[in-house]
Chains A and B, each alone.
Chain A
């Protein structure tokens, strides 16, 4: 029983982290119709900044805050320098250009920080377990991740639903041309949205850093999952991203946890150990394929196209 509760919490934590990444992606996708493969690079940069700033200031939290600001600025800079020229172009062009950006970022990070990667150690007040229910201890840090991401999700909701900027975002997601025609400063809106997406990605990266390490290319693997979530949830829909992300988080974590045991009943131990992680990873793609075939716009599509 304890095992199941722990795994569910792990799934929730992973899902929420994916949500942060997917939210930025779906915003940019939905509003600017931009396929941004370099989103994973922003995730990586957030982690590197956090590791560096935490080492300089000696404080994990201060390092994290500084990293967020830095990633936001990098995001906005990238938008102004590179992304602006891609709006309105073919998706193929986006894919190629942003693929090139991935290469550029990977090499720049290698140049600046070296090839070995970094680590982000936790402060002692986070690096322990807390008792959440009698008899069940859970990592304090993972609980912190869950709390922080939920807070961010709520803040995003408030931003999108209750503020003027949020209204513009929603309007832009359903009809871009009209918003431009109404005299809104589209350029500024786009820069801000892209920066917001970058900051969210950076937050996901720096929060994940103490658990996994900070290394070059860490964005590529998780980027795919973020895209899958974006597609399942519906492009442009943050609500869809949240639902899809939590779902995917659960499927992936519970799959990795319990699939091997299921398989071991049918296959040899060796075969099961190799097949299980592969098959549970596959599950997510299967899910996306099914969604795409049945409801191509995703579960909560924002309505554009």
Chain B
């Protein structure tokens, strides 16, 4: 992927008026204190890691934006979105059952676990979840499409785009307190905003 905003780094503004202490504290934790595995089993972690590599592939990064550790932290803290459908199990159970069903689905479709498949086969398998064209009876406990879209995908996308490296990638201004912005109109850019490659 060709960089759209070459050289732009939100974190270069760390000591500028675009950052305040509360934001620095939050981002220091996100960057420097990636949580250890506390909730998922080693096998579940490895499986989820393989899934996240397909949901948000980052082949160009030597240090990919971590996603799995933050999902584990969310499950460890049992911190969900505050609602679920009555036929969905509670948060922790939904993730655990969903991951098990996903691996079972891989064995039924391809004869081996998800992590052992190549990238194309993994993508094809995930698409069957997205389309709700699944074989495993384990999906009776957790709806395949909802697990894929509202748990796996929505969560991973949220974590990825909460990371400063993702903000660099899309040219987002990032933290903006107390300075904010001055130039608001069409095609107008403050000097502390990303410049798009011509």
Binding partners A and B: no
B contact residues vs A (CB 8 Å cutoff): none
